[in-house]
Structure 1
Amino acid sequence: MTFTYRLALSAVLTTLVACGGSGGTSDPVTTTETATSGTDTGSSSTSGDTGSSTNGSTDSVFCDYNDTTLNTQPSLTYTSVSTWTCNESTRSLTANGIPDHEIGTFPNAANPNTITEQDVSASYTLTPTQTSTASELGGPRGTTGYVLNGVKIDAGTGGSCDDSGTACSLGDPSGSWSIEALGQSSFDFGTDDNNAHVQPGGAYHYHGMPEGFISKRGGNSSTMTLIGWAADGFPIYARYGYSVADDASSELKSMQGSYQFITEVSSNRPSVDTYPLGAFRQDWEYVEGSGDLDECNGRVGVTPEFPEGIYHYYATDTYPFFQRCVKGSL
């Protein structure tokens, strides 16, 4: 079934084409959306063609996704462009890295960087294979994934402190203690309400929950919301998952990461009186079973798009906020 619906919110045009799902709306834009090979459920949440999830195949979900949105902020006007397409084996992204939702003002007092268009290109397998080994990504190790709007996920930072805590830099990773962007109040990276900010090269990127995009997708506590793809080809969802991983009839709950504060603080760590626990990545340790997810913020379970089950990741309100590693073959 093919369906089209229009929401008149302003004179700005957004076009979204999704195979196997329907998108939400973005305030303040006028949105025209067309979904093909799907089922019109009358809902703005992800729905429709679930495809074959046997052996973790993701081949028929969002193989065609095209989003063009005019996005403005003070003194800047850009058009967000994001296109996902598939061939027989690969899901590919071409985008300009401009978000398709309202963002904060950049530069700002804590972030001196100006957002600019980027040359975004990525290709992920349509047949991901889960492994028992976690591969750490992010920063110079490679992007962990992209949100559907073409904005990259990069949960860590390039900031660090030395052991004394007197020499800290938000842009120098050479110190022993890696500074976190979220979940702490010791350092200010100038993130906006989308838990995102701009890197020195002009790239807007998410450190955590992409609230504006989730709202645009119609994400809420009554639905699982697919928001992106990880570098290993597995899907990424926002916040909510089934309370029983393999039971789609179970209640949805807010997923919790399985990281806890370290139990023994190193004597080399900068003073916790100055920098409370949570300021640094090294303050956290994975404790299996303490939350809902594994060390890469993922789990195996059923989703609306994959009713037979698949390994998938979550953006969470708790550390690590977004996956810092992937569990699929690269």
Structure 2
Amino acid sequence: MKSSLKTKSCDGYYDAIRLGGSGLAALCLSAGLILSGCGGSAAVSDGAASDDSGVSVDEGSSSDTSGDAGDAFSVDITNAIFTETSGDCADYDNTLEASVTDIQRGFGFDAAVTISSDSDSCTLTSNSIPNHDFNDASAHFANSVAEVSQSFHIPRNPSSASSTTSLSQRLVNGVMLNGVVLDLLSAGCYNPSSPMADADGNTAIGCPDTSDWLLDPLGADSKFGADAHNAHTQPGGLYHYHGNPNAMFDSNPGPNGSPVIGFAADGFPIYGSYFLDPDTGTVRKAVSGYTLKTGSRGTKSTNNPGGAYDGTYIDDWEFTNAGDLDACNGMTVDGQYGYYVTDAYPWVLNCFRGAPDSSFNK
């Protein structure tokens, strides 16, 4: 039995469950629920390093939502650190939940995620609430977070297309295993003629993705009001990430690197930042192949923001193949292609290696 969570029984460690709902997993989970009487620790607490095949969750986080033998179980992933590295979405079959807080508003939310699969694809359904607290003091959300029901189909056996597909404002880029979508492109750009333009000539909304000087949400000083998880809301209250979620993986990866934390619209997995470098045998962060352009953008005008390239705009970057990752911000490790979270642009991915599934259309 593969596992993504380990607990400690009176007799030692054993695999309790993976993020996949088999009958054996349910049986082990039932055992885990009574460990408190044994004097053992039921799970690794949030923030602690996980073992080689587990999700680190708070003690007592795995819960039976039915109370009847044989019924489905729901796994509490509040502040969970994932560890499974499989690129097959079917290995994450489960019903997941979390209890989190909108910090500034002082409101509690319950996250709900269901992942199911068949021979060809997986279906991930969620209410778009993350498995971590959000809207901290650093955030300036334009709209309050709201539950938004969404469902996505993820191909189990994605393949590379003859050509890559560019990101689009009309397409959700991916969905994380906590049910929150990845939506990297902004609708902001350099448009000094707009009545909503700021002192630098930038406007936060109303620009197509074909704009010459499209703003990078994580390159702008304001980060578009994003919180500590590089996320903010759309007008309908949809909470979404623009980069590293700062959740689901940490800086203490397992021997094979960071876990899968989500899936892109084309079905390829999204990993955290770390991978096992086959050349050195060490685990390290993946490095983006994009480089900040040198020099100046040119003379400031109605069509050019001028100034030095500093990462404010997507066009400040160019692909130079200077890192580990390809132009889509992905690579193949041990036979598995995937996208990686990086510390620099494009943050998670910049194009699709395969064909995006239509369920990711907005």
C-alpha contact (below 8 Å) 1:298/1:314 kept by paired residues: yes
Partner of 1:153: 182
Aligned residue type for 2:202: C
Aligned residues with identical type, % of pairs? 29
Structure 1: unaligned runs, 5 residues or longer: 8-15, 37-43, 51-56, 303-308
Following superposition of structure 1 onto structure 2, how do residues 87-126 of structure 1 map, counting pairs within 5 Å?
Answer: 87-105=118-136, 110-126=140-156
> Highest relative contact order (Cα 8 Å, sep 6+), 1 or 2?
1
> Alignment partner of 2:247: what SS?
helix
Deviation for aligned residue 1:105: 3.7
Q: Per the alignment, do residues 169 and 30 of structure 1 end up closer, same or farther by CA in structure 2, a change over 3 Å counting?
A: farther
Following superposition of structure 1 onto structure 2, how do residues 1-330 of structure 1 map, counting pairs within 5 Å?
Answer: 1=1, 18-19=19-20, 22-25=54-57, 30-32=60-62, 46-47=83-84, 58=88, 60-62=90-92, 64-73=93-102, 74-105=105-136, 110-140=140-170, 142-162=171-191, 166-174=200-208, 176-185=212-221, 187-215=222-250, 220=253, 223-244=257-278, 250-263=281-294, 265-267=296-298, 268-272=303-307, 277-288=310-321, 290-302=322-334, 309-330=335-356
Give CA deviations for 1:172-225 in whole Å, capped at 9, x if unaligned: 21564111111442x44111111111122211111111113325xx85375321
Q: Per the alignment, do residues 202 and 47 of structure 1 end up closer, same or farther by CA in structure 2, a change over 3 Å counting?
A: closer
Compare the two structures and name the one with the higher strand fraction.
1
Between the aligned partners of 2:18 and 2:152, the Cα distance in structure 1 is 19
Between the aligned partners of 1:138 and 1:220, the Cα distance in structure 2 is 32
RMSD of aligned alpha carbons: 3.2
Which is greater in Rg? Answer: 2
> Alignment partner of 2:240: what SS?
strand
Q: Per the alignment, do residues 139 and 30 of structure 1 end up closer, same or farther by CA in structure 2, a change over 3 Å counting?
A: farther
> Alignment partner of 1:319: what SS?
coil
Deviation for aligned residue 1:46: 2.0
Q: TM-score, normalised by structure 1?
A: 0.77
Between the aligned partners of 2:224 and 2:330, the Cα distance in structure 1 is 26
Partner of 2:196: none
Give CA deviations for 1:24-67 in whole Å, capped at 9, x if unaligned: 226xx841179x9xxxxxxx75249x5xxxxxx726522x1321
Give CA deviations for 1:114-147 in whole Å, capped at 9, x if unaligned: 000111110011111113421113422x111111
Between the aligned partners of 1:168 and 1:109, the Cα distance in structure 2 is 20
Structure 2: unaligned runs, 5 residues or longer: 9-16, 22-52, 65-72, 74-80, 194-198, 357-362
Aligned residue type for 1:300: T
> Alignment partner of 1:77: what SS?
strand
